């Protein structure tokens, strides 16, 4: 029987090893996606036959599992089935990509699935976002050029453990907090990332104007995809988000990276408009799958 353990920061190296060995373009298969939301979803994990399994409290505190990551997908799903039988609950898999759905339906033919547009990941061409070439990116280029013209003393630098502490002050004093439980939890975890800079090991950068922080961004590379987890900027500076996004990619995109995942929009209309403006090549669909008979 699976025995689940509560996630802690000390587990990052173990979890990262699985994600690097079996990369997925979903933000949910990253250190940031898992650890920044581990308390919000009550995430726990178990390892079976060199395969990683997460159990979470999903929507309406429903017990659910993410798709196994590792050598024995089928065996891990059987373990999940046995766990659910022992606890008299139906197996529910959350944030299931289309490719993993095909694996699940082979093992559990009798299932129902539904997807939520709000949780689809925005996937972009790395080269397109780095160069912003072509007419469709003229608005972004104009914002960047305006920022450079207005703030000629701007600079971008890689974040360090020391400068990460300065970003906490910036976050608390310059970035408005939305009135929601998820926004409050996100702020807590952004602070945790900054306080535990080395443990998280993100590629992180700071945008400054006249030496003052006006924005920062953090992300990580998994396989051929750079996943951007955090983007915070002071909107009092015209074009700051466009400048931050482009500066970050210019600095941290590796040659082997083909795609950029800027996560979901959580149903926020302003965020949705901003992310669509960068012309994603895919909205990575993620589904909740309930096994009806097992």
- 247: domain range? 121-263
Please give the radius of gyration of the chain, using alpha carbons only, rounded to the nearest integer: 20
- pTM, entire model: 0.95
Q: What is the pLDDT of residues 140-191, one digit of tens each?
A: 999 999 999 999 999 999 999 999 999 999 999 999 998 889 999 999 999 9
- Is residue 274 pLDDT above 80, yes or no? yes
Smallest CA-to-CA distance from 280 within 118, 129, 64, 154 is with 129
Q: Are 52 and 116 in the same domain? A: yes
Q: What is the pLDDT of residues 11-44, one digit of tens each?
A: 999 999 999 999 999 999 999 999 999 999 999 9
% the chain with pLDDT above 90: 95
Q: Are 76 and 112 in the same domain? A: yes
Domain presence at residue 281: no
Q: Read off the pLDDT band of 69 (50, 70, 90).
A: very high
Q: Are 148 and 232 in the same domain? A: yes
pLDDT given at position 294: 75
**Residue 173 vs residues 162, 196, 233, 244: alpha-carbon distances, Å:** 18, 20, 11, 19
pLDDT given at position 61: 75
Domain presence at residue 185: yes
Helix (H) or strand (E) holding 279: none
- Average pLDDT score, the chain: 96
Whichever domain contains 228, its CATH number is 3.40.630.30
Q: Are 77 and 141 in the same domain? A: no
CA distance 84 to 86: 5
- Number of structural domains found in the chain: 2
DSSP 21-58: HS--SSGGGSHHHHHTTTTTTT-EEEEETTEEEEEEE-
Report the DSSP pairing between strands 212-222 and 203-209: antiparallel
- Is residue 60 pLDDT above 80, yes or no? no
């Amino acid at each position: 029987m699976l025995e689940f353990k509560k996630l802690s920061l000390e587990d990052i190296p173990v979890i990262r090893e699985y994600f690097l060995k079996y990369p997925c373009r979903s933000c949910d298969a990253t250190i940031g996606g898992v650890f920044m939301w581990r308390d919000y979803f009550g995430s726990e994990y178990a390892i079976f036959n060199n395969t990683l399994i997460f159990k979470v409290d999903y929507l309406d505190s429903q017990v659910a599992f993410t798709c196994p990551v590792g050598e024995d997908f089928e065996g891990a799903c059987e373990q999940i089935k046995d766990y659910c039988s022992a606890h008299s609950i139906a197996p529910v898999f959350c944030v299931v990509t289309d490719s993993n759905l095909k694996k699940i339906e082979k093992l559990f033919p009798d299932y129902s699935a539904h997807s939520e547009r709000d949780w689809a990941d925005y996937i972009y061409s790395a080269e397109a976002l780095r160069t912003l070439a072509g007419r469709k990116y003229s608005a972004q280029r104009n914002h960047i050029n305006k920022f450079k013209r207005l703030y000629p003393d701007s600079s971008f630098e890689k974040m360090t453990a020391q400068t990460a502490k300065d970003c906490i002050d910036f976050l608390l004093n310059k970035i408005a907090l939305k009135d929601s439980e998820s926004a409050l939890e996100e702020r807590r975890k952004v602070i945790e990332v900054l306080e535990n800079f080395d443990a998280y090991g993100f590629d992180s950068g700071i945008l400054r104007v006249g030496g003052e922080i006006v924005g920062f961004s953090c992300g990580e590379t998994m396989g051929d995809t750079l996943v951007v987890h955090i983007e915070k900027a002071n909107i009092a500076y015209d074009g700051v988000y466009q400048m931050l996004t482009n500066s970050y990619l210019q600095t941290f995109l590796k040659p082997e990276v083909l795609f950029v995942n800027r996560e979901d929009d959580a149903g926020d209309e302003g965020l949705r408009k901003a992310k669509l403006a960068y012309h994603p090549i895919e909205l990575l669909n993620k589904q909740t799958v309930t096994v009806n008979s097992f």
